[in-house]
């Protein structure tokens, strides 16, 4: 059989005749099961609608449970009822047509002009909603029918399903239109007028918007469940349908016995309520129907809508087999391309072995094994799946032949996909090789945290096992971690050293430190090296060079102070890195060399030696760095931010001076002597200059603190090497937190009345203290007022991130939906997949893969020249 292609989908409205035609049973009994527990004839569980009990057979098709797909039934409504979903268009039709003759309230030529406009827009595939609105506006305003001359009354639509006619425009007296009245009016509208309301007469008649028959979905759509107590619990839809049938029958009985009009009207209202909530239980204007427990019922619309609805919950995203999810934790001892999988998970997940003459013995081995990794199932060529247990292992192993499939447990070396949400870029799902390990968490090398944006504060990740050989090959070739060291976002490495890796290598390579043979061996123990020149002493730079591939490169390190003229090799700060032929000659290895996002060395290795060598370098580099930092020792404590008395004194003075200068500025402003800056008001000028002064003061305080902390301070080492934290963080801890701001301005409150931020200040106080300048440090602690200002400033950041994530998430979804069918073809053009329409004649106009670009540039001319001309510049 060839797969069929859907060329179009057309939506129509069901007519009463069609509902009856597709129905196999007319239902009129509110009971579901009789005393013996059998479905009642004419009830909602009628066996003609299909069966959900394993013992019963369907009366319509004879199928058992699982065979019969279920069949629709119907309820003949005692009185017509408005369909909520169509209430709005009913309102449009009632207002737009004559109450006497049913014609559109518009002359024919005008109507035809509008219809032509709608056709034109339809053909262009554009929205014609605006035309419909215009027609509605015109017809609603008509006072007299242009066809029969009848006076028109205003129609009022009250949500969700009520319609009124204003009989007297003076007194605003209203008369209710019953669904029956509404239906009669809709019946009168001629087919020729329908296109003007956006309806196609070939598929819709407007009176069908008022229900006289209600289709009842098959029982398979609303199966009941048996509770542990043995009690039957019905689906919410069944509950709702029971209500509908009950009221419907009561209405019939009352009408037949000639009950008063009022009672009938109340029952009619009730029927309308039940049918409305049957379609949508979240309609505004009416209370939702509730379960006995008080829980709102989940009716038709609720099944489709929202995150767990049919579309977002079952179709766009669904739960899958061969997957696992658990907490992640770090393991620097495994490779970046591996993932540690708990034994429990490995036992549960399986990989198929497709048995051929060549792997028959290999497959048999798993069948005979009694401990993991062992075979868990075999599938015979006839599709029969047999569970492998200790008692049948040998027997199955004997029978095994080519064509069978053996499902074995996950084991070391299997390829799996590893994922962390939110999956915002392609590096959010990468292929890793399995390492089965004890304990209950997934283990990953900390160097792959940046692409996943993962940390270990409780993050969980997902793992998927590709089942076909094609999928496995694709994962290995296209999705492997080492293929994603360079990011297509900025053309630089996204996988590289973080935190301790950077600190470790900084400690190792800074200056001319010497290490004994023993120390060197200990550092390099975890690294796979075949040969090391025999020496009594090694410098840190030599040790690092052992793991370095043969690259040549020169660059300024992260610790570079940015001297006016770089002294390059002669930098007294050891901040200029020179690597020649894989030997680190000068400079310190830090974030700029091996960090994720910046790592120039990683970048260079990737371009020169490719993915495999880069992977090995990152593995070795992280292992070396971790061993160095553990052996040398590295720690920070609260007293790392202690500064001597004289430093505190100097900082105090600096800040006091700045505050005084701010006061002077305010004085000048008050006396009218402040010169405004170009394009600014005097007030703005004052604010800017005060901010400037206070900002400068904090920087100066930070400099003082930094001077006294010194380069041996652990926190300073982390900040300058780029491992973690910044000098600003240190300044705020040791010296001064500085100005707090909201929307880039000093804190301000109460222009109209109070003129001050809090009651601790005089009105109109513009001084530093009164408007959110925090002169304390985190170490010394904040005063209550400072603390309040700090909270106000900190809150802005929190609000910003909350707003940004939701906005960018929505943008991301829209982008994915808009771009999902675009593909870069082999000829470099970008085309839409189904229509073949060209979007770009050359991808990105230059045809360059951004991942293979050099930090966004198509080529790095300097590097090419250097390579061709020889290393020396």
Partner 1 sequence: MVFKGGRSMKVSLQDHVLVPKHEILKEEEVEELLKLLRVSKEQLPKIKASDPIVKEIGAKPGDVVKITRKSLTAGVSIFYRLVVE
Residue carrying structure tokens 């301790």: 500
Q: How far apart are CA 26 and CA 49, in angstroms?
A: 10
Per partner kind, with CB cut-offs from 5 to 8 A, the member of partner 1, Zn ion, Mg ion, none near residue 791 is none
Q: How far apart are CA 731 and CA 469, in angstroms?
A: 56
Angle between helices 261-279 and 236-256 (to 10 degrees): 160
Closest to Zn ion by CB, 270 vs 727, is 727
The dihedral through the CA atoms of 45, 47, 48, 50 has a sign that is positive
Angle between helices 129-141 and 87-96 (to 10 degrees): 50
| 142 touches Zn ion (CB under 5 A) | no
Give the list of residues 6+ apart from residue 638 with CB closer than 8 angstroms, or none: 779
In angstroms, give the least distance from the CB of 832 to partner 1: 9
Q: Which of 18, 31, 76, 100 binds Zn ion (CB under 5 A)?
A: 100
Closest to Mg ion by CB, 459 vs 796, is 459
Q: Which of 488, 130, 88, 143 is nearest to 280 (CA)?
A: 88
In angstroms, give the least distance from the CB of 216 to Zn ion: 14
Q: Which of the residues 794 through 853 are near Zn ion (CB under 5 A)?
A: none
Q: How far apart are CA 501 and CA 622, in angstroms?
A: 6
Question: What single DSSP character describes residue 92?
Answer: H
| 839 touches partner 1 (CB under 8 A) | yes
Q: How far apart are CA 664 and CA 670, in angstroms?
A: 10
Cβ 405 vs Cβ 375: under 8 Å: no
Closest to Mg ion by CB, 256 vs 457, is 457
Q: Which of 291, 204, 269 is nearest to 302 (CA)?
A: 291
Per partner kind, with CB cut-offs from 5 to 8 A, the member of Zn ion, partner 1, Mg ion, none near residue 386 is none
Phi, psi of 620 (to 5 degrees): -65, -45
| 835 touches partner 1 (CB under 8 A) | yes
| 826 touches partner 1 (CB under 8 A) | no
Long-range pairs, 185-189, Cβ under 8 A, ≥24? 185/94, 185/97, 185/99, 185/102, 186/90, 186/93, 186/94, 186/210, 187/102, 188/97, 188/101, 188/102, 189/93, 189/97, 189/102, 189/103, 189/104
Interface size with partner 1, residues (CB under 8 A)? 16
| 439 touches partner 1 (CB under 8 A) | no
| 834 touches partner 1 (CB under 8 A) | no
Give the list of residues 6+ apart from residue 282 with CB closer than 8 angstroms, or none: 288, 296, 301, 302, 305
| 787 touches partner 1 (CB under 8 A) | no
Per partner kind, with CB cut-offs from 5 to 8 A, the member of Mg ion, Zn ion, partner 1, none near residue 455 is Mg ion
Angle between helices 129-141 and 108-124 (to 10 degrees): 160
Angle between helices 611-632 and 600-609 (to 10 degrees): 150
Cβ 687 vs Cβ 744: under 8 Å: no
Site string for Mg ion, 446-485 (x = CB under 5 A): ---------x-x-x--------------------------
In angstroms, give the least distance from the CB of 42 to Zn ion: 17
In angstroms, give the least distance from the CB of 829 to partner 1: 7
In angstroms, give the least distance from the CB of 564 to Zn ion: 10
Token pair for 215: 């289709």
Per partner kind, with CB cut-offs from 5 to 8 A, the member of Zn ion, Mg ion, partner 1, none near residue 575 is Zn ion
Report the number of secondary-structure helices (H) and strands (E) in the chain. Answer: 25, 29
In angstroms, give the least distance from the CB of 822 to partner 1: 13
Closest to partner 1 by CB, 386 vs 858, is 858
Q: Which of the residues 289 through 348 are near partner 1 (CB under 8 A)?
A: none
Q: Which of 158, 673, 841, 864 binds partner 1 (CB under 8 A)?
A: 841
| 842 touches partner 1 (CB under 8 A) | yes
| 145 touches Zn ion (CB under 5 A) | yes
Interface size with Mg ion, residues (CB under 5 A)? 3
| 858 touches partner 1 (CB under 8 A) | yes
Per partner kind, with CB cut-offs from 5 to 8 A, the member of Zn ion, Mg ion, partner 1, none near residue 100 is Zn ion
| 512 touches partner 1 (CB under 8 A) | no
Cβ 332 vs Cβ 504: under 8 Å: no
Closest to partner 1 by CB, 137 vs 852, is 852
Q: Which of 585, 837, 859, 871 binds partner 1 (CB under 8 A)?
A: 837
Q: Which of 433, 424, 428 is nearest to 465 (CA)?
A: 433
Closest to partner 1 by CB, 411 vs 858, is 858
Token pair for 746: 């000093």
Q: Which of 40, 101, 221, 674 binds Zn ion (CB under 5 A)?
A: 101
Per partner kind, with CB cut-offs from 5 to 8 A, the member of Zn ion, partner 1, Mg ion, none near residue 459 is Mg ion
| 488 touches partner 1 (CB under 8 A) | no
Q: Choose the binding region for partner 1 from 273-281, 580-588, 781-789, 838-846 (rule: CB under 8 A).
A: 838-846
Per partner kind, with CB cut-offs from 5 to 8 A, the member of Mg ion, partner 1, Zn ion, none near residue 518 is none
3-state secondary structure of 244: helix
Q: Which of 532, 529, 543, 547 is nearest to 621 (CA)?
A: 547
| 376 touches Zn ion (CB under 5 A) | no
Interface size with Zn ion, residues (CB under 5 A)? 18
| 846 touches partner 1 (CB under 8 A) | yes
3-state secondary structure of 749: coil
Per partner kind, with CB cut-offs from 5 to 8 A, the member of Mg ion, Zn ion, partner 1, none near residue 437 is none
Q: Which of 575, 605, 686, 766 binds Zn ion (CB under 5 A)?
A: 575
Q: Which of 582, 844, 851, 863 binds partner 1 (CB under 8 A)?
A: 844
Q: Which of 629, 613, 627 is nearest to 527 (CA)?
A: 627
Cβ 405 vs Cβ 378: under 8 Å: yes
| 836 touches partner 1 (CB under 8 A) | yes
Closest to Mg ion by CB, 174 vs 459, is 459
Site string for Zn ion, 47-66 (x = CB under 5 A): ---x-------x-xx-x---
Q: Which of 566, 674, 851, 858 binds Zn ion (CB under 5 A)?
A: 566
| 827 touches partner 1 (CB under 8 A) | yes
Per partner kind, with CB cut-offs from 5 to 8 A, the member of Mg ion, Zn ion, partner 1, none near residue 101 is Zn ion
Closest to partner 1 by CB, 270 vs 858, is 858
Token pair for 96: 């737009």
Token pair for 805: 């994530």
Q: How far apart are CA 589 and CA 604, in angstroms?
A: 14
DSSP 758-780: STTS-TT--STGGGTEE-S-TTT
In angstroms, give the least distance from the CB of 51 to Zn ion: 7
Helix intervals (H) in 448-491 = 449-452, 469-474
Whether the bond between 422 and the residue before it is cis, its omega within 30 degrees of 0, is yes
In angstroms, give the least distance from the CB of 123 to partner 1: 11
Q: Choose the binding region for partner 1 from 398-406, 595-603, 632-640, 837-845 (rule: CB under 8 A).
A: 837-845
In angstroms, give the least distance from the CB of 839 to partner 1: 7
Phi, psi of 396 (to 5 degrees): -65, -40
Q: Choose the binding region for partner 1 from 206-214, 230-238, 431-439, 843-851 (rule: CB under 8 A).
A: 843-851
Q: Which of 89, 613, 674, 848 binds partner 1 (CB under 8 A)?
A: 848
Instruction: Give contact residues for Zn ion (rule: CB under 5 A).
Output: 50, 58, 60-61, 63, 68, 98, 100-101, 145, 147-148, 150, 560, 563, 566, 571, 575
Instruction: Give contact residues for partner 1 (rule: CB under 8 A).
Output: 827, 829, 831, 835-839, 841-842, 844-848, 858
Instruction: Give contact residues for Mg ion (rule: CB under 5 A).
Output: 455, 457, 459
């Amino acid at each position: 059989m060839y797969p069929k292609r859907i060329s179009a989908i057309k939506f129509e409205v069901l007519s009463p005749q069609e509902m009856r035609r597709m129905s196999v049973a007319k239902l009129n009994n509110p009971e579901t099961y009789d005393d013996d527990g059998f479905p009642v004839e004419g009830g909602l569980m009628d066996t003609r609608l299909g069966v959900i009990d394993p013992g019963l057979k369907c009366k319509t098709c004879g199928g058992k449970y699982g065979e019969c797909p279920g069949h629709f039934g119907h309820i003949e409504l005692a009185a017509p009822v408005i369909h909520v979903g169509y209430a709005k268009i009913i309102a449009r039709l009632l207002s737009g047509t004559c109450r006497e003759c049913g014609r559109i309230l518009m002359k024919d030529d005008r109507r035809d002009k509008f219809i032509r406009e709608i056709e034109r827009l339809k053909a262009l595939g554009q929205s014609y909603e605006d035309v419909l609105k215009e027609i509605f506006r015109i017809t609603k305003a008509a006072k007299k029918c242009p066809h029969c001359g009848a006076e028109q009354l205003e129609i009022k639509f009250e949500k969700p399903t009520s319609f009124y006619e204003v009989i007297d425009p003076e007194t605003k007296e209203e008369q209710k239109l019953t669904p029956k009245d509404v239906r009669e009016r809709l019946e009168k509208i001629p087919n020729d007028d329908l296109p003007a309301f956006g309806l196609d007469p070939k598929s819709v008649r407007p009176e069908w918007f008022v229900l006289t028959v209600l289709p009842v979905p098959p029982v398979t759509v609303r199966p009941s469940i048996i509770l542990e107590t043995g009690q039957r619990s019905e689906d919410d839809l069944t509950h709702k349908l029971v209500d509908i049938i009950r009221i419907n029958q009561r209405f019939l009985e009352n009408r037949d016995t000639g009950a008063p009009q009022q009672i009938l009207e109340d029952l009619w209202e009730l029927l309308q309520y039940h049918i409305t909530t049957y379609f949508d239980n979240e309609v505004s204007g009416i209370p939702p129907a509730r379960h006995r427990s008080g829980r709102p019922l989940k009716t038709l619309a609720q099944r489709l809508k929202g995150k767990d609805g049919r579309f977002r919950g079952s179709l766009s995203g669904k739960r899958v087999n061969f997957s696992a999810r658990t907490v992640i934790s770090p393991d620097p001892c495994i490779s970046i391309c591996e993932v540690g999988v708990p034994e429990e998970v490995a036992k549960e997940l399986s990989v198929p072995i497709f048995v051929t003459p060549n792997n028959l013995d290999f497959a048999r081995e798993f069948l005979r094994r009694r401990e993991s990794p062992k075979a868990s199932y075999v599938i015979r060529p006839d599709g029969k799946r047999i569970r492998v247990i200790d008692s049948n292992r040998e027997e199955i192993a004997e029978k095994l032949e080519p064509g069978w499939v053996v499902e074995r447990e996950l084991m070391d070396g299997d390829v799996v996909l590893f994922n962390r949400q939110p999956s915002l870029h392609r590096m959010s799902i990468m292929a890793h090789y399995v390492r089965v390990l004890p304990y209950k968490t997934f283990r990953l090398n900390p160097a792959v945290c940046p692409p996943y944006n993962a940390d270990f504060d409780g993050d969980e990740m997902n793992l998927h096992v590709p089942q076909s050989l094609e999928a496995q090959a694709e994962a290995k070739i296209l999705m492997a971690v080492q293929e994603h060291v360079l990011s297509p976002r900025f053309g630089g490495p996204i996988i590289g050293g973080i935190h301790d890796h950077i600190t470790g290598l900084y400690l190792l390579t800074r200056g001319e430190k010497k290490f004994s043979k023993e120390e060197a061996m200990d550092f390099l123990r975890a690294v796979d090296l075949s040969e090391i020149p025999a020496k009594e002493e090694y410098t840190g730079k030599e040790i690092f060079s052992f793991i370095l591939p043969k690259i040549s490169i020169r660059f300024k390190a992260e610790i570079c102070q940015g001297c006016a003229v770089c002294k390059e090799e002669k930098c007294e700060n050891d901040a200029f890195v020179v690597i020649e032929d894989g030997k680190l000659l000068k400079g310190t290895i830090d974030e700029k060399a091996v960090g994720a996002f910046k790592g120039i060395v990683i970048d260079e290795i990737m371009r020169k030696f490719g993915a495999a060598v880069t992977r090995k370098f990152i593995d070795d580099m992280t292992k070396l760095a971790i061993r160095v930092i553990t052996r040398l020792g590295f720690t920070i404590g609260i007293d790392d931010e202690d500064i001597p008395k004289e430093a505190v004194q100097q900082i105090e003075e600096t800040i006091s001076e700045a505050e005084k200068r701010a006061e002077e500025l305010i004085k000048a402003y008050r006396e009218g002597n402040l010169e405004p800056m170009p394009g600014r008001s005097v007030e703005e000028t004052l604010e800017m200059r005060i901010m400037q002064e206070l900002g400068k003061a904090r920087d100066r305080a930070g400099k003082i603190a930094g001077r006294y902390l010194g380069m041996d301070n652990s926190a300073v080492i982390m900040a300058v090497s780029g491992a973690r934290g910044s000098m600003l963080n240190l300044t705020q801890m040791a010296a001064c937190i500085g100005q707090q701001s909201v929307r880039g301005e000093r804190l301000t409150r109460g222009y109209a009345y109070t003129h001050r931020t809090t009651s601790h200040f005089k009105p109109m106080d513009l001084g530093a203290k009164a408007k959110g300048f925090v002169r304390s440090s985190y170490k010394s602690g904040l005063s209550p007022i400072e603390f309040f200002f700090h909270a106000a400033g900190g809150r802005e950041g929190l609000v910003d991130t909350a707003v940004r994530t939701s906005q960018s998430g929505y943008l991301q979804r829209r982008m994915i939906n808009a771009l999902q069918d675009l593909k870069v073809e082999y000829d470099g053009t970008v085309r839409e997949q189904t229509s073949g329409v060209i979007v770009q004649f050359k991808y990105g106009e230059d045809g360059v893969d951004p991942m293979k670009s050099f930090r966004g540039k198509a080529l790095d001319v300097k590097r090419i020249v250097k390579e061709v001309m020889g290393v020396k510049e």
